[in-house]
Chains A and B, each alone.
Chain A
């Protein structure tokens, strides 16, 4: 297993975080967010790294990571498209949005394109019900969607991430 480590900047951030909580265990969630920024996806070696960094059993990290659905787990594509499917979005056509993306990318929810660029998920309420239907792509919300906007977004993402052009 290749050695991984936080950058100097992340390590500084981590050290700062330690000063903000009365227990080292409490740094776990912020450290996992840092790991996500640093390593993109969090798999076995990333969890192990975080566990060793904090000094807690790796199983603790594993249990915590899998409790929360927002972390990008191992195998997640570069662009993670999360279509909100809860009631308010569903009432305003989230399923059509999902279906359009699914057709365009050729994958179903929970799948990643063979090129590794896109992962598609259906997720629960993202707290943007007034702009339904909406989706989250990595950090960004895309709201008030219709099928035309969805097509544009996919074109835009494809242009940003040329096939085979990124690692």
Chain B
């Protein structure tokens, strides 16, 4: 083999294969669509090699070797299903289960538990262990995480996460032998901003999120791939819901954005969906109205207005919604579209490079690319001036903020529009006195796409099943309005709206929802749209 060889030729289960050099057997096998069982291995963490479930047979060793740490080499012959490999893995499974409580029926991990999965493929059908099991602690490790010690297989994924990814080091393994278990230092709970990831990466039911404990069975839940709306980073998430209610949000792998991790705000901040101050019904002048009345009221208020119109969008809106706003704006003779946002949060970055943005809006870049890069700055300033001067006849406000920390001056200005239509997620001072108040969908209820801070366009998907929406979404209402105004024949899906967007805005021209796939695409001019954006007015 030459020194600069770009591939290694080796044999996997009798078949000669080629792989890039330097890979472990497990990594290389995965490239050939063969998943070798693992517990302690995690692609984002250092190799521990302690669980031993990834045993395979090698022509270079009289004993089985662990595929997570052993590397491929020229001429290496690996058997993953030989008698030796199976016996070795079956042994490990038998040992894993002797002190395990086997409490799957009451364990929140059941259904996504790696131990459970491997025990079906590699485990014995009954236990030969008849002795007393070792008992280890069940306790809270932090406000959001508890450990069920008897289930812990001491794979140390969680400990390595806190050492290597967050650098916070709150977790450790205490004691040794079969007494060892994960713990925190007395009085110093695990409370870092990425802590919840340890629950995701726990291969068994040892680390349990307090938030999800006894909430739902994994297999009953609907799983929706989406993007976090907590900040402008756009971490990939999976929303797990039951009967249309979000039960849990977990990280979804995207090597280009968030790798395997999400922050705790993104993970746990969905309770606002059911908050008491959520706007759920339409109202006119403070009086509740039904949905149909609301629709016709919206149509009438807009079509009957011949004066100056202002539209204030928020960067929680999808690209598709923003596109419809643009369309609306262009049908109106005198209309300006500006954008507003809430105050910044706190940025945080971690030793491995993971960062949480201070910009708490998922689609600020989308607003820049679709509405215009000055939407937050000069246009917003202009709109406010017009409002303050009493020049705005009709103002349409979008306030889909889960945590509206809005500038008081803006609220005052809003109040000066002659007629005001508000789409709002929560009730607040900006809703007071509105001529028409309409409920706004939350990010987790939207279908569409967001453009993140790095110019990556990603799909967001609603957790609500088709036909189950409690009220028409902005996407539906805006299209109905456009139809009413004679602008388009009918409503289409968010993908259809995106096609219109792609044909009208250069930056989106090569894209469609299907090209975005599961991990999104970087828009060629997306970055520049982000980079040149001004600050808020």
Contacts and interface: CB of A to CB of B under 8 A. Distances in A.
Contacts of B168: 57
B173 A63 contact: yes
B197 to A, nearest CB: 17
Chain B interface secondary structure, helix, strand, loop or mixed?
A: loop
A21 interface: no
A60 interface: yes
Nearest to B177: A67
B172 A62 contact: yes
Interface in A46-73: 47-48, 51, 56-63, 66-67
B206 interface: no
Best-buried of A57, A58, A59, A67 by chain B (most CB within 10 Å) = A59
Interface string B173-215: 1111000000111111000000000000000000000000000
A91 interface: no
B244 interface: no
A60 B170 CA distance: 8
A29 interface: no
B184 A59 contact: yes
A133 B171 CA distance: 40
Band of interface residues on B: 10 to 19
Given A44-B186, A44-B187, A48-B185, A60 B169 contact: yes
A56 B169 CA distance: 8
- B171, B185, B187: most-surrounded residue (chain A CB, <10 A): B185
B185 A59 contact: yes
A44 B188 CA distance: 11
Contact of A67 (B171, B175, B184, B187): B175
A44 B169 CA distance: 17
Nearest to B172: A63
Nearest to A48: B185
Dominant secondary structure at the A interface: helix
B185 A47 contact: yes
Given A67-B175, A67-B176, A62 B169 contact: no
A48 B186 CA distance: 10
B156 to A, nearest CB: 10
A114 to B, nearest CB: 25
A90 to B, nearest CB: 20
A7 to B, nearest CB: 25
A57 B170 CA distance: 7
Contacts of A60: 169, 172
Q: Which of A58, A62, A63, A67 has the most B CB atoms < 10 Å from its CB?
A: A63
A44 B185 CA distance: 8
Nearest to B190: A59
A58 B169 CA distance: 8
A59 B169 contact: yes
A67 B175 CA distance: 5
A61 B169 CA distance: 11
Given A66-B175, A67-B176, A59 B187 contact: no
A61 B172 CA distance: 9
Interface of A: 44, 47-48, 51, 56-63, 66-67
29 contacts: A44-B185, A44-B186, A47-B185, A51-B185, A56-B169, A57-B168, A57-B170, A57-B172, A57-B185, A58-B188, A59-B170, A59-B184, A59-B185, A60-B169, A60-B172, A61-B185, A62-B172, A62-B174, A62-B183, A62-B185, A62-B186, A63-B159, A63-B172, A63-B173, A66-B174, A66-B175, A67-B174, A67-B175, A67-B176
Interface of B: 159, 168-176, 183-188
- Going nearest first, the 7 A-B pairs with the smallest beta carbon separation are A57-B169, A63-B172, A58-B185, A59-B172, A66-B174, A59-B185, A62-B185
